[in-house]
Structure 1
């Protein structure tokens, strides 16, 4: 039986505002996938305050940032419609590993030494490089980069904050300068005190990796971003276990050689063998 009661008699703690939201009406839009992924597929805590977790948020693809043989990086806005508040609107980088078109990294067998695939069917498919095998491999590379990002972020290494992984797509912090993509170190011409400051940042970052038992494996000025005066290391799917990979030391020395050669060309006297020795001492 229904009883009529004046609205003013209703306890305000039981009153809430309701707003109906329209479905995304653009081919480049979708509802936020934040809550559709498993908790372990979300970034480590404490999370930055710009991470959008609202169920009302919509993901809008803004365009492509970078394309390559193995993956493409898009700009993606996650925002609550009509809101510009921090924590309700952000632009991120969406890295999507290719599946059917995926081609393995050069010398990928050396990078993946020590990896294991639990399902024998998957392992056979990857080895045979079948269509299904390439899809499995794409998932492995995405998972490897996600693991590296979360591990290194927690260790204090300057990497983009990993927001979430969903299959072969990783959403991560968009590293920018005044709203534009931060340049690669190779595109910049720092000199004087800044050059030395940047090398010390890189030495510290490589030391943190070494203490964690890994090397980047493909470090060069092309996968280091310069955001104002801050270095950020990117492209981490091939991170190498120094103890578990027989070629781990070779990869570490190559990383040292690549970065030291660039700094020397800019006028800073640094030695890759000295850096390698320092990192080895921290690793073991």
Structure 2
């Protein structure tokens, strides 16, 4: 999906938001809804990264506190032609990662302790390359805006239930139209969010594989993360399911209804696409680093100075 199609989807979500406002308050409600949407997204634009990082209890690390992890991100950022993002660690046993920030100059990447302890160095590089691809493609801003709209649309639909719709002559649909909107609008918002998020994941997989030069590093990481993610709960994500689309793999357990509208494409399809890309790039279907022990199993290089510490080595692509 190119940026034009994404813009069309965002415009559709804006129209849906204004439509709910019209259902509640007629023409005046429509314009008030638009102003609210603009205000919410302005706030999100400047504060989304801080909000999400605080939500997950992420703490920033540097080259002294996490030399191996930090070094991987730095080398990948150089390869991607990006400014060095802020680097965070989330104290969570579920292996996962996400990127956030309004633009490449104000971006951050975060990985869980579960990911840093259970994946090999090459697999971690594949995951971080994927997250940097989101930053380079400005996906972090787009996906945050869609999440804000989706949440706001659900909120307005709840308001419609209490207010019962406008009896203003500007609203020709009346109470019946309001009831339909209460059901359809949140579903439509989720579908738009899914369409944007799923396509962005495929694009970030491909761009990330090109950044690190080894598609199978990411493919191997995705298989491991998918296997563990639904066995190891992420309580913060369960509490804030609207943020699930930010992670490289859906962090939700599936015990709730959220997975009926998963914002992530099939992991098997993502791996298949990466295998095809590996064949096109001539890197092989497995990759020369497959089968190497994970950091937790090997005890080094990640265990010196903490589970993600250790002395820095040359990049895995050198």
TM-score between the two structures when normalised by the length of structure 2: 0.24
Higher Cα radius of gyration: 1
More strand by share: 1
More relative contact order, 1 or 2 (CA 8 Å, 6+ apart): 2
TM-score between the two structures when normalised by the length of structure 1: 0.26
More helix by share: 2
